[in-house]
Structure 1
Amino acid sequence: MLPHKFIMICAAVLGLSTCLCAQEQPKKPFLHPLFSDNMVLQREVKTPVWGWTTPGSEVTIELDGKTSTCKSGNDGKWMAELPPHKAGGPFVLKVSGPETVSRENVLLGDVWICSGQSNMEMGIGACMNAKEEAAAANYPDIRLFTVPKKIAFEPEVMLQPTQPSQAKWLVCGPDTVVADGWGGFSGAGYFFGRELYKAINVPVGLIHTSWGGTIAEAWTSEAGLQTMDDFKERLSAFQEQVAKIKQGNFDFAKEMGAWWTDNDPGSKGGWAKAEFDSTAWKDMEGMPQNWEKCGMPDFDGIAWYRKTVELPEAWANVEATLNLAMIDDRDTTFVNDVVVGGMDTWQSPRVYKLSKGTLKAGRNVIAIRMLDTGGGGGFHGDANSMNLSAEGQTAVSLAGTWQYKIAAALKDLKPAPQKLDNNPNQTTVLFNGMIAPLLPYAIKGAIWYQGESNAGQPMVYRRLLPTMIKDWRTRFGVGDFPFLIVQLANFMEVQNTPTQEGWALIRESQFVISRDIPNCGLASATDIGDTTDIHPKNKQEVGRRLALIARAKTYGEKIVFSGPVFKSMEVKGNEIILKFDNVGGGLTAEGDRLTGFAIAGADKNFVYADAKIVGDTVVVSAAGVTAPTMAYYGWANNPVCNLFNKEGLPAVPFRTNPE
């Protein structure tokens, strides 16, 4: 998982069983909390309004002189529809039945879902120029709604706020935009809404529902995933485990131990033993290191680490503490063949107590068995957070070089048991807890910033995200609403090789999805990332680019909304001529020379290419490649590339020979 995941402390198995079997559900209210003061209702469509009351009761809703009446069902749920209404307000929504409630300051406008993982979650207060942006956020016709984080094993109907600013509509202002955790309301969402509001001049409602470090399958319903062979085994394992927990016969430690034995070559091969010969293992320098920074950006699965520490006689027979920074996701840690600790949460420092006799004078071997199930993995923290310490002794640093060995890729493993109630990276659980309670609130569209945690399986993602989009569109019931995707920003160390699959493949999948799925769009962020921070601060430009797409494709403005997109190629001698769509006012390069291109011949031995702009084309060639057959552009985790159109939008990375 990625280092930014925030999650509750792991529950004990008994507590987990209690949570699943007897969790108290909140009382269902007469009017769903989505319909609060300050709400935005979707203009120009029928607008469902719902709640719960005594079965068989008549309920009437009224707004701006228009009414609708319904009866509650046997389960007490009622749902009525307001007729289409043009943008405007403020209005009062009145609901009458066994109870009477009114909601004030209601606007009719356009409602957008803002969803994804941490780059959507990242608040305005964590973005570039945060203080100035918050102070200037005086937009009373923009309204904000934050969905509380919730893992659920079946679709829920209610929202359970954990902070006062959640699960109710807030008027956009300097205080409300920073009223929630990690910087407040979604920066990407707010900047999108701000730019959109300035352009269309109608009220904008933003519903923010995201969770850092999460995978797209968590945001997809069970029915949606059942249509994909990729997830049937995981769904089955998940459902089987939930059933065991509900029956009270799930022993996580026992199940996990059996899983390790069945799936891990290191457990079978004795890799934790002090006498094990690990001389053939590779070295990983600069520890603590996450996998993105050390040549394993797309690996999900099991890896082992070992380090030998020489200790003086004074360390023998003392109680000590082993500090291992933070590990992403799971670890089992051994010292001299003894299990000394293990955790199943990420973003949690590993601090393990070593009893007397664990350490000895001379050679001591620390071995760590690690499992990562999505996104990045490895260690996170600084050098000072990895050491051995004991009272009366000088701490021994464990930073620096460790040995490591990849044991097995996730795709080759059977699904591992999970501590379900605190793990958002399970199939369906965020759809159930954070999308289902919104249904069928009328919306205009959705923006989506996610993919980092699915980067290890880009081709599966190419099938998964369209499934999720189709699923959401069906369930919200407003047709094929616009779905706008942020293409992952540049991140990680710049590589010296001209091609590096990594995030290039997940970006390609995002582009293909946006191209092939009706009413989708792509905002590329490959020029506004950060080498060392997976959370780039320039969410203003992300929001602006998303708004450009919406203005053009949803609202019909005649504007340039995309950077250059590869169209076709032609080989002439030792040159490749590349043609593009979306050139806008023309192609241009930021800087002295055009960069980011690589070419190869039939041998597929790519080398960096010289590139020049000729009209609306780019001509590329390279010394030693006399018969080029293919070209790449921006094909790396952190591409150094600078082709734009004159409207300032970056070219979308591509390869001319997709497989």
Structure 2
Amino acid sequence: MTPRIVLASLAWLAFVPAATAAAAASLELPLVFADGMVLQRDAPLPVWGQARPGCQVRVTLDGEHASGTADPAGRWAVTLPPQVAGGPYVLAVEGCGQRQRIADVLVGEVWLASGQSNMEWPVAQTLHAAEDIAAAGDPQLRHFKVPRSWAEAPRTQLEGGQWQAASPETVGAFSAAGYAFAQELRRTLQVPVGIIDSTWGGSSIEAWMSAGMLGLDAAALEAKMRERRAAEEKIEQAVYQRVAAWAPVDPASDAFAGAELDTSGWQPIKVPAAWESQGYEGMNGVAWYRTTFELSAAEAAAGITLGVGQIDDTDTTWVNGKQVGSTVNAYNKPRVYEVPAGVLRAGTNTIAVRVQDDGGGGGIMGSPEEIFVRPQGGVARALGGPWLFRTAQASVAMLDDKNQDDTLLYNAMLHPLQPYALAGVIWYQGETNASPEGAYRYRDQFRSLVEGWRAGFRTPALPFLWVQLAPFHSGGDQLDAQGRVLESPWATLRESQSATLALPATGQAVITDAGDSNDIHPRDKHVVGQRLARIALARVYGQQHIAWTGPVFREAEVRGRELVLHFDHADGALAARGGGALAGFELAGADGRFHPARARIEGDTVVLQAAGVDRPVGARYGWSDDPGDANLVGRDGLPASPFRTGQW
């Protein structure tokens, strides 16, 4: 290429907080500019950082260079011209006698993956983990993990992170949905692909929004922060006092496992329930639970099956001082252990459970039915307690709920990335906001987030693709006496997600056929990444032959006792998944009461009729938290999005 000088555009810096004098004294780049990085092809490339005020900074990449001057606060920014896909290159940054050399730089497609746990979920914990890890070995597919972090004001620097190429040693920790998405892009586009993974499990949408996106002024935000800090300090002090009653012991010790033990200093605790909900907010570390159960001589001689619930995160379990089981880092796996006769005794038997929690909720959780003693050949008996509790070694810090608070993740995990050049964003979030209060509000929040992120990355039409919530039995649906859904926060949130498709350059991956009624984290992330990739390839990269969406409801037409539903993207391909009859449709008259509907396909329409509905007024489809039976599909078997024809 012919070298060109490109002058810096510094207007965006007005929105970045001033750096400290110490940071400005040396030449510094955002941590995402690091060895192994991937830069976006065919787009202007912002490069920015800190230096001594007045310092002249020169940036060079593959013969192209750009220069700029650090402002009085030490901030500098330049923009390199667009580059075609290629590499590896060296990105060199020089200024005031200092030099940084970033090696192994590729130019290709860069996507930001964000949201909560279903986007964060690592390859190692998925349905296809073994095959994905064994087959990994693509040096041109790279992943940058932004560490979980939070801040009360927008930061200019991440807390950490590094670029890693896909290999059997690294890919297990990659975002599984992001990795499957990137693999599809690599196969089709044949250019380097980078995924920037900025995710935090359990996070709310509000945490990923700036004060401006939330409509908060500086004074209102600071007032909220002060209230939160004061409340947290009060809680921390109370928990510290409670925990201080117990002398710390080695967290790996089995000192409290024995059958005979003085527990006079222990405290009662409810099981199942997180210890955070019982006066131990913000506590992480190791704690012990103890209880007893009774057996007859015959039952003790035959052995039992013991259930101790879902334990967050790791447990070791003893009966009468003998270890009977242990499970590591499986917060949502019910613990079921076989206890042989040689461990048991007629009469009273003692259970001791050592629990290690590394963050988030901790303790013995799950459902009461998962905590039981079942004699051989008998029925399960509930382990109702009483349970006793004490800590072994614990720390207290109000960190776990930071992913719920306004702006905190945006400030630390998103703002420092702006305005890195991107091809687009993939987003999987919403479970946390699927509440009666939050589900409808989400449509305005989501729109504001999309528009705000586009402004921050200085790309008004930045492609923004997301995953609609998967089916899951949340327990949050409000039902009538006949079991019909009256209100469904999860269905309403899906509707809010669909409403955001009104924005340009957006797309939604529907996965009503790929959920798990009993697990909020469906383990098949291939289907998630592949459906996002279909949208990207068709809508962003112009691969017009690729089917990228299922049928989308457009309008309803009353025809006597029938209601005719018209769809976009039907393409003459409407069908019932797997064959057979259509399911998941309901019909209502003027009274607003929904009845199961018989549905048939006529061309690009679905015709509904229901007993008890002589004059149909409205319909809905897949309207529940767990619409796995909703089976309308279109081209390539892509499922239709749940919908309702009006608000009831």
TM-score by length of 2: 0.72
Q: 1:575 to 1:328 in 2, by over 3 A?
A: farther
Q: Supply the distance in 2 between the matched residues of 1:644 and 1:596 (Cα, whole angstroms).
A: 12
8 Å CA contact retained: 1:321, 1:351: no
- Give yes or no for the alignment of 1:537 onto 2:523: yes
Identify the residue that residue 504 of structure 2 maps to in structure 1. 518
Identify the residue that residue 371 of structure 1 maps to in structure 2. none
Fraction of identical pairs, as percent: 39
Q: Deviations over 1:609-632 (max 9, x none)?
A: 111112211111122222221111
Q: Indicate the SS of the match to 1:212.
A: coil
**Counterpart of 2:421 in structure 1: which amino acid?**
A
Q: 1:103 to 1:625 in 2, by over 3 A?
A: same
- Give yes or no for the alignment of 1:553 onto 2:532: no
Q: Supply the distance in 2 between the matched residues of 1:472 and 1:503 (Cα, whole angstroms).
A: 25
8 Å CA contact retained: 2:24, 2:73: no
Larger CA deviation: 219-228 vs 205-214: 219-228
8 Å CA contact retained: 1:150, 1:430: yes
Identify the residue that residue 140 of structure 2 maps to in structure 1. 141
Identify the residue that residue 635 of structure 1 maps to in structure 2. 623
Q: Indicate the SS of the match to 1:527.
A: coil
Q: Supply the distance in 2 between the matched residues of 1:346 and 1:214 (Cα, whole angstroms).
A: 19
**Counterpart of 1:343 in structure 2: which amino acid?**
Y
**Counterpart of 1:121 in structure 2: which amino acid?**
E
Q: 1:382 to 1:123 in 2, by over 3 A?
A: closer
Deviation at 1:78, TM superposition (A): 2.4
Alignment partner for residue 505 of structure 1, among 458, 472, 492?
Answer: 492
Deviation at 1:476, TM superposition (A): 1.1
8 Å CA contact retained: 1:219, 1:431: yes
Identify the residue that residue 441 of structure 1 maps to in structure 2. 420
Q: Indicate the SS of the match to 2:28.
A: coil
Deviation at 1:633, TM superposition (A): 0.5
**Counterpart of 2:555 in structure 1: which amino acid?**
S
Deviation at 1:138, TM superposition (A): 2.5
Deviation at 1:202, TM superposition (A): 2.0
Q: Deviations over 1:435-474 (max 9, x none)?
A: 1111221111100000000011112111111111111111
- Give yes or no for the alignment of 1:322 onto 2:310: no
Larger CA deviation: 565-574 vs 648-657: 565-574
Q: Deviations over 1:249-277 (max 9, x none)?
A: 95447999xxxxxxxxxxxxxxxxxxxxx
**Counterpart of 2:413 in structure 1: which amino acid?**
M
Q: Supply the distance in 2 between the matched residues of 1:402 and 1:326 (Cα, whole angstroms).
A: 10
8 Å CA contact retained: 2:547, 2:635: no
Identify the residue that residue 123 of structure 2 maps to in structure 1. 124
Deviation at 1:326, TM superposition (A): 6.2
Matches within 5 A, 1:387-466: 394=349, 399=368, 419=398, 423-456=402-435, 457-466=438-447
Identify the residue that residue 172 of structure 1 maps to in structure 2. 166
Q: Supply the distance in 1 between the matched residues of 2:122 and 2:336 (Cα, whole angstroms).
A: 29
Q: Supply the distance in 2 between the matched residues of 1:317 and 1:38 (Cα, whole angstroms).
A: 55
Deviation at 1:32, TM superposition (A): 2.6
Alignment partner for residue 600 of structure 2, among 590, 612, 620?
Answer: 612
**Counterpart of 1:550 in structure 2: which amino acid?**
A
Q: Indicate the SS of the match to 1:618.
A: strand
Deviation at 1:423, TM superposition (A): 2.4
Q: Supply the distance in 2 between the matched residues of 1:347 and 1:510 (Cα, whole angstroms).
A: 35
Q: 1:120 to 1:316 in 2, by over 3 A?
A: closer
Identify the residue that residue 112 of structure 1 maps to in structure 2. 111
Matches within 5 A, 1:199-598: 199-226=188-215, 235=221, 237-241=223-227, 251-252=234-235, 318-325=264-271, 327=273, 330-332=276-278, 342-345=279-282, 394=349, 399=368, 419=398, 423-456=402-435, 457-492=438-473, 497-499=483-485, 501-513=488-500, 515-558=501-544, 559-591=546-578, 592-598=580-586
Q: Supply the distance in 2 between the matched residues of 1:160 and 1:91 (Cα, whole angstroms).
A: 26
Identify the residue that residue 373 of structure 2 maps to in structure 1. none
Larger CA deviation: 518-527 vs 316-325: 316-325
Deviation at 1:649, TM superposition (A): 0.4
Identify the residue that residue 78 of structure 2 maps to in structure 1. 80
Q: Deviations over 1:397-451 (max 9, x none)?
A: 9946999xxxxxxxxxxxxxx9468622111000011011112211111000000
Deviation at 1:330, TM superposition (A): 4.8
Q: Supply the distance in 2 between the matched residues of 1:107 and 1:475 (Cα, whole angstroms).
A: 24
Q: Supply the distance in 2 between the matched residues of 1:645 and 1:30 (Cα, whole angstroms).
A: 51
8 Å CA contact retained: 1:137, 1:173: yes
Q: 1:430 to 1:606 in 2, by over 3 A?
A: same
Q: 1:450 to 1:422 in 2, by over 3 A?
A: closer
Identify the residue that residue 316 of structure 2 maps to in structure 1. none
Q: Deviations over 1:563-602 (max 9, x none)?
A: 0011111122221111111113511112322110111111
Q: Indicate the SS of the match to 2:92.
A: strand
Identify the residue that residue 291 of structure 1 maps to in structure 2. none
Q: 1:384 to 1:106 in 2, by over 3 A?
A: closer
How many pairs does the alignment contain?
510
Q: 1:509 to 1:402 in 2, by over 3 A?
A: farther
Q: 1:506 to 1:348 in 2, by over 3 A?
A: farther
Identify the residue that residue 101 of structure 1 maps to in structure 2. 100
**Counterpart of 2:611 in structure 1: which amino acid?**
A
Q: Supply the distance in 2 between the matched residues of 1:224 and 1:251 (Cα, whole angstroms).
A: 30
Q: Supply the distance in 1 between the matched residues of 2:222 and 2:461 (Cα, whole angstroms).
A: 30
**Counterpart of 1:53 in structure 2: which amino acid?**
A
Q: Indicate the SS of the match to 1:160.
A: coil
Deviation at 1:186, TM superposition (A): 0.4
**Counterpart of 1:74 in structure 2: which amino acid?**
P
TM-score by length of 1: 0.71
8 Å CA contact retained: 1:55, 1:75: yes
8 Å CA contact retained: 1:552, 1:560: yes
Q: 1:453 to 1:504 in 2, by over 3 A?
A: same
Q: Supply the distance in 2 between the matched residues of 1:124 and 1:317 (Cα, whole angstroms).
A: 43
Q: Supply the distance in 1 between the matched residues of 2:534 and 2:46 (Cα, whole angstroms).
A: 29
Q: Supply the distance in 1 between the matched residues of 2:272 and 2:156 (Cα, whole angstroms).
A: 35
Q: Supply the distance in 2 between the matched residues of 1:38 and 1:380 (Cα, whole angstroms).
A: 35
Q: 1:317 to 1:478 in 2, by over 3 A?
A: closer
**Counterpart of 1:67 in structure 2: which amino acid?**
H
Deviation at 1:41, TM superposition (A): 0.9
Identify the residue that residue 393 of structure 2 maps to in structure 1. none
**Counterpart of 1:324 in structure 2: which amino acid?**
K
**Counterpart of 1:551 in structure 2: which amino acid?**
L
Deviation at 1:48, TM superposition (A): 1.4
8 Å CA contact retained: 1:383, 1:399: no
Q: Indicate the SS of the match to 2:65.
A: strand
Matches within 5 A, 1:55-74: 55-74=53-72
Q: Indicate the SS of the match to 1:143.
A: strand
Q: Supply the distance in 2 between the matched residues of 1:42 and 1:96 (Cα, whole angstroms).
A: 22
8 Å CA contact retained: 2:563, 2:608: yes
8 Å CA contact retained: 1:321, 1:352: no
Matches within 5 A, 1:9-28: none
Structure 1: 5+ residue runs without aligned partners?
1-21, 162-166, 179-183, 257-314, 333-341, 355-378, 386-391, 404-417
Q: Deviations over 1:97-124 (max 9, x none)?
A: 2212222221111211000000000011
Identify the residue that residue 304 of structure 1 maps to in structure 2. none
Greater relative contact order, per chain length (Cα 8 Å cut-off, separation 6+)? 1
Q: 1:395 to 1:497 in 2, by over 3 A?
A: same
Q: 1:254 to 1:130 in 2, by over 3 A?
A: closer
